Every structure is written in C-alpha cells, then in structure tokens.
Amino acid sequence: MSMMIDVLMEEKRRLEALIHGYDEQISRLPKGSISWKKRESGEYGYLAYRVVNSVKFDYLGKKGSEKPEMIAQKIKRRRELEMKRGEAARNLKQINRMLHAAKKSV
Amino acid sequence: MQQKNLFEQTLTSLSQHEILNDLVLIGGWCFIVYREHFGNSHLIPVLRTLDIDFLIPTPVKRSNTADLPAVLSNLGFDLAIAYPDGVEKYVHPELELEFMVPARGEAVEKVEFVRKLGVKAQPLRYMSLLVENIMVTRFRGIELRVPRPSVFAIHKLIVSTYRKVPEKRKRDEESALSLLQFCKKVPSEWILAVHTCDTMPTGWFQRVAGVLERLDSVLLKNLKG
C-alpha cells in the first residue's frame, strides 16, 4: 500500500508543478477576446476585456495585419492552457481524494 | 483519468507518422506491455509512475527527418524546458514524456539534439544494455520495440542503486525483482539474464549483486550460474 501512496504522491507533485507552470504561462498572455468591427474600409480588431463591471475595447489594427493576428494567437493559446490547467486541477483533486482514502486505510 | 488512452493514442500517432520504429519504449510503461506480451501474467507488476520514457538508439537510421515535436503537440503535449541544464520533457495533464539516448564516452552532456527527430534527449549511462537487447512486440495491435524484460529488470536494478530518494529506490528494486523472478520462469529470458550478467562489466554486476544479495540471494545464486 505504501508503494501506491508513493506513486500517488509523485503524481500529486507532478500535477502541482504542472499547474504552477500553466499559471505562469497564462499570466503572460492577454485576457479577453478579439472583437471584429466592420467599417466601410474593412474589418478592424479590438481586444475586448472586462475591467470590474465594464468591458474595455483596445484597438489592435486592421484584419490581416500583424498585431490583431498575433494577439488572436496568444488568446487562443491562453484558452488552450486554461483548458489544460482545468484538466490538471481535476486530476489533482482526484489524486488528493485517492491519497486521503489510501492513507485512511493504512 | 485517461492515461492509458493517451498512452495508446501516443503510440498510435507515432506509429502512423512512422516514428515509432526509431524509438524504444523504456521505463514504467514497459510493465504493461510485458503483461500483454506474456498473456496477462499477474506476476508482472504494473504499478508505475506516469512518465512515458523513450530511448532513441543513435545514430537514428531513418533517411528523412521527422517533426516529432509537432506530432506530440497535436496530441496536446507542451514542451517544458528545465533551466539551466536545458533538459526537455513534454508535459500533458495526464502524462509526461521524455527522450533518452545512450551516453557516449566519459564527458556526458546534459542534452543531445537528435536532428532526425527534432528533439533533445538526455544521454544516460547503462542504456547500451537496453539498446543491445531489444524485442519487437505488439501492444493493443501496435508494433512496438521494448527491451527484453530480463535485461530491463537487470538495468532497473543497476539504476536503482543511484536513486537518492529511498521510496523511489525501493519501488525500482521491488518492481525489477518481481520482473526478474517472473523471467526465471521463461527459459529464453533466464538464459539471456545469466548471459547478460556474465558478460557485463564487473562494476555493473556488483551493483546488481548488491541489491539481490539483500532482496533475493537465491535468485542471485542462480543468476551467477
């Protein structure tokens, strides 16, 4: 039984380190979403994000230009990392439950 | 948790991209492969950590280059680099994946870039033991290269003597011993085990003997022939 507890503890440490890594990466990426607004001269991107109770729009540039595309990629990456962080956190919760049960039965 | 699914998906994807033939599965997941290979024998332990370790026998024989990082990225793995030594691993909420190569010579770099696969691998000692004793098997229908189990167990005993964390050392020792005890019942594996111990450098065998003297002296006596 103690060998199983060791394996679970190792996985717990791995998941905690993984979550910490995801949090660091996520903190470096922009929050919000890209909002595209149509004008006569084309489509223009704005970074839409929440500040307290309101939504702010930061102008990024015309669709197809470097800045909005770069920010869109970063936001996509943020969402991917947030999903993985969520999965890791759920796994960690499961591991903690298993550890609790395993330690109780020893 | 879905580690077994991700493990199988990883093998399938590597096989579909014709990369799996360049890799040898080593580490804890070998136990589950051996179990299937030997008809689900309960004598083979399956308690393992969740790292997938691959050994890359070098030089890589493929004629073209493969983008292994892209294949892993499509499976949801992200590259994590440990600083300052630059050791790389691929992380996922379910599993982690690392690559190793046999260390060459005395001066051992922390990482070696395997150009034909596009990954950095860790050179480790004693890997030549595994590279020289590979078998091809099928796991869930996927053709896969793994070390011969008797040699895998002996290698694990050697490596266990370097473990600094007592729990990890104990886990390595016990799983290696269980596997070696199983190999005693498979004539071809036992013959290989005796031959391997007989022909390996004395220092290597002393490490094996040191562990077995403590855990199963009868097995050690049989191993010495």
Query: Which pLDDT score, from 0 to 100, does residue B35 have?
Result: 93
Structure tokens at B149: 């189990």
Structural domain boundaries enclosing A9: 2-105
Nearest CA in chain A to B94: A88
pTM to 2 decimal places:
0.86
Name the domain count of chain A: 1
The Cα–Cα gap between B141 and B146 comes to 15
Helix (H, G, I), strand (E, B) or coil at A50: strand
- Which residues 38-97 of A are in CB contact (within 8 Å) with B? 84, 87-88, 91, 94
The Cα–Cα gap between B12 and B139 comes to 10
The Cα–Cα gap between B122 and B186 comes to 32
Give the ipTM: 0.73
Structure tokens at B80: 């994590």
Closest CA to B93 of A93, A41, A34, A97: A93
pLDDT at B1 over 60: no
pLDDT at A1 over 80: no
Of B49, B78, B91, the CB nearest to A10: B49
- By percentage, how much of chain B surpasses pLDDT 90? 79
pLDDT at B3 over 80: no
CB contact under 8 A, B92 and A94: no
The Cα–Cα gap between B20 and B127 comes to 18
Decide: residue A54, CB within 10 A, 0-12 exposed, 13-18 middle, 19+ buried. exposed
What is the overall mean pLDDT for chain B? 92
B168 φ, ψ (degrees, to nearest 5): -65, -40
- By percentage, how much of chain A surpasses pLDDT 90? 64
Query: Which pLDDT score, from 0 to 100, does residue B106 have?
Result: 65
Query: Which pLDDT score, from 0 to 100, does residue B108 have?
Result: 64
Of A3, A11, A94, the CB nearest to B171: A3
Of B50, B93, B171, the CB nearest to A6: B171
Q: Tens digits of per-residue pLDDT, B146-167?
A: 999 999 999 999 999 999 988 8
- By percentage, how much of chain B surpasses pLDDT 70? 97
Q: What is the DSSP string of B152-201?
A: HHHHHHHHHTT--SHHHHHHHHHHHHHHHHHHTTSHHHHHHHHHHHHHS-
Average pLDDT over residues B18-44: 92
Structure tokens at B33: 């492969």
Closest CA to B3 of A25, A82, A7: A7
Query: Which pLDDT score, from 0 to 100, does residue B167 have?
Result: 85
Average pLDDT over residues B93-114: 86
CB contact under 8 A, A3 and B47: yes
Show residues of chain A in contact with B174, CB under 8 Å: 3
